[in-house]
Structure 1
């Protein structure tokens, strides 16, 4: 790997990450760890050619996530970012519309309120029996005599069933919903995501219309009622449904599959969990720290001059990319950060955001992982990878990094795991 040679100054030299594209796909953690050693904030050319400020340190990331000068609204983005990711330098809106993720206060406060009121702890807990039923059905169908895919056969159908339950999507449409979500989350080119968003617009229009004609008692029905009371427009409600689909599906697939991978490649941690099932929630928490599904949140744009750490960032609409995957491995906050340790004293994570942009659906993701992970391990006491970790393929999208497949089997031939200090994800 080439020396980045990024000096510690208020105006650091631009780091070119394009020569490290393969390394960032296979295992980005060593790349970002080396950069973090040289400073917590860097100007960088991304693998796709776009430029961004990388925020790598934990205190800097936490500050950036709450900083009022860092906007989530694309209207404050520079023209290059809008051209690359919205398809038009003069466009300031996503095709699906405006939701709490791509807005700032006070608009953000109004758009977030219906979801916060709908995703109450009581309503999430009411979904537990449904999660357990879907999990039991899927795990019972997993074969003992041949390999199966934890993603295609468990994580994806479970999370898809749950988010479609939340939204009231008919079973017959699950396949289409997953295909659309996949194109948005992992586009081959930015236009793929733009087209998929446009395809989802008429679907959600019809779904919301049907819900209004025949109201129910589900979580999305509660959201509709609160949205009407808060005077959300149809377009804003549709954009909220769009956000729930992506945030409640792809990220939870990765959370569950990453947890399985981390445990299977750290056998002493798997053994510890089997001896102490009460550590399940800590295992999920440590997975979120060690291998978060979303290495960075929705982009921020510098609307005013600001300073993070000792680095000055001009308020010119520059893309600021907050790397929570790096922040959660900052040795200033987490001792032995590159060690996967489910007995670690839980710290405050930014994997689900921070401050006003904290994810209101995090409790549903925790619920699904805390039900499915122990159920899988109980069903297969000798669960193992059906391949070696170095053969696994990763996909990287604008916000997510995820396994393509995770082949496992009940009684696998011995597969040599990585040691405790090797990054499994």
Structure 2
């Protein structure tokens, strides 16, 4: 069963390019008059994600927006909280990333397995069988937000408030709602950084504020990094869990295969990431010089949107791409990006998914949708691909 996908929010292309656009690279006019270039297709997306001429510096982005009189975004891109490693280029990107890399080494991530298993078991134990359960609320959200907040040292009482702020970044909200969320988060996160500097603990934020040397981060840089890690560290994993479970329950033959052969689990997680990527689009880039992609030249100074979903469903890379197959070699998918901005938290997301799907199958002998798949609602986001709710009927094993 294929999962319904909403129609792309696309407007007629302008007539200003110097040469005709190809099928994979074309200019678009958005509803607010914002013009950008859309890159689709596996080879084209992979090139765009790794091409240094597609830049991400937040200060230049703000200036380009001002030049185009895009008022809604000017104040946002001028905010210090948005100047983090995802919105910077080398050499600054390299300095910022290497400072936080040590918090996400393979060894440190694997050391989290017992804690992730304990949190997952507690959440699953709390699920009743009296009626449908929303898996997003019961499991997919609380697990990753708990893990990333513990890693960064965010107090438990503040975690749900934090999610309401980060939701504004990834959902399609009004500019004033986004600005208010950013202002509240700015105040909160700077207070938290100041507290960690006064009384450091065994967490990533404390490690960043106590780092010495010429590459040490300023408080503004630590705050921006914390916001990025908190938002990216749970939003994508929420979607990975929700989308993956939906894919399984709408493909009962694949669910049965995974139950029968747990050695399929690592490959299944990669197929979930490919088949229904947690991220629709890569974050915004701009060309700092003319760039040819897919036979089309994008002029300098243009904004570029890179479509992750199209790469993961390109039949030239993945035959019969709209068929979910847990035995498929889904390696090389673009769900975590590519190039220097490849997702720092990918090992943690994979570990959380491995624990969740394994424990779900261990705990519940029956898992099915509690309403028709056509009635599921997807979050209103251009950037992310995730469900508002995932109502399931679940029957525990005897």
Same fold (TM > 0.5): yes
Correspondences of 1:99-114 after superposition (within 5 Å): 99-114=84-99
Q: CA deviation at 1:159?
A: 1.1
Q: From 307, 321, 325, give the equivalent of 2:292.
A: 307
Query: Contact 1:150–1:257 at 8 Å: present in 2 too?
Result: yes
1:34 maps to which residue?
A: none
In the aligned structure 2, how far is the partner of 1:237 from the partner of 1:281? 33
Q: From 386, 391, 394, give the equivalent of 1:402.
A: 386
Query: Contact 1:82–1:92 at 8 Å: present in 2 too?
Result: no
Q: From 35, 46, 51, give the equivalent of 2:35.
A: 51
In the aligned structure 1, how far is the partner of 2:233 from the partner of 2:69? 25
Sort the Cα spacing of 1:226 and 1:327 in 2 relative to 1 into closer, same or farther, 3 A. Answer: farther
Sort the Cα spacing of 1:82 and 1:277 in 2 relative to 1 into closer, same or farther, 3 A. Answer: farther
228-237 or 215-224: bigger deviation: 215-224
Query: Contact 1:76–1:303 at 8 Å: present in 2 too?
Result: no
Question: Counterpart of 2:19 in 1: which secondary structure?
Answer: coil
Q: From 45, 62, 67, give the equivalent of 1:61.
A: 45
2:3 maps to which residue?
A: none
Q: From 317, 320, 336, give the equivalent of 1:333.
A: 317
In the aligned structure 2, how far is the partner of 1:148 from the partner of 1:56? 36
Question: Counterpart of 2:26 in 1: which secondary structure?
Answer: strand
Tell me the alpha carbon deviations over residues 66-89 of structure 1, each in whole angstroms, 9 at most, x when there is no partner: 11211111333332677355244x
Tell me the alpha carbon deviations over residues 255-307 of structure 1, each in whole angstroms, 9 at most, x when there is no partner: 10000001111111111111111211211111111111111111111111111
2:20 maps to which residue?
A: 12
Q: From 161, 164, 183, give the equivalent of 2:168.
A: 183
Q: CA deviation at 1:399?
A: 1.9
Sort the Cα spacing of 1:208 and 1:43 in 2 relative to 1 into closer, same or farther, 3 A. Answer: same
Q: From 88, 97, 110, give the equivalent of 1:125.
A: 110
Correspondences of 1:77-88 after superposition (within 5 Å): 77=61, 78-79=64-65, 83=70, 86-88=73-75
Query: Contact 2:34–2:70 at 8 Å: present in 1 too?
Result: no
Tell me the alpha carbon deviations over residues 13-42 of structure 1, each in whole angstroms, 9 at most, x when there is no partner: 6xxxxxxxxxxxxxxxxxxxxxxxx72111
Correspondences of 1:350-361 after superposition (within 5 Å): 350-361=334-345
Q: CA deviation at 1:64?
A: 0.6
Q: CA deviation at 1:232?
A: 1.3
2:146 maps to which residue?
A: 161
Correspondences of 1:208-247 after superposition (within 5 Å): 208-226=193-211, 230-247=215-232
How many residues are paired up? Answer: 384
Give the unaligned 5+ runs of structure 2. Answer: 1-6
In the aligned structure 2, how far is the partner of 1:5 from the partner of 1:191? 28
Sort the Cα spacing of 1:253 and 1:211 in 2 relative to 1 into closer, same or farther, 3 A. Answer: same
Q: Is 1:323 matched up with 2:307? A: yes
1:24 maps to which residue?
A: none
2:179 maps to which residue?
A: 194
CA RMSD of the aligned region, Å?
A: 2.5
- What TM-score comes out, normalization by structure 1 length? 0.84
Sort the Cα spacing of 1:209 and 1:63 in 2 relative to 1 into closer, same or farther, 3 A. Answer: same
252-261 or 112-121: bigger deviation: 112-121
65-74 or 217-226: bigger deviation: 217-226
1:417 maps to which residue?
A: none
Q: Is 1:347 matched up with 2:355? A: no
Query: Contact 1:74–1:301 at 8 Å: present in 2 too?
Result: no
Correspondences of 1:143-154 after superposition (within 5 Å): 143-154=128-139
Query: Contact 1:284–1:369 at 8 Å: present in 2 too?
Result: yes
Query: Contact 1:293–1:401 at 8 Å: present in 2 too?
Result: yes
Give the unaligned 5+ runs of structure 1. Answer: 14-37, 413-425
In the aligned structure 1, how far is the partner of 2:152 from the partner of 2:318? 37
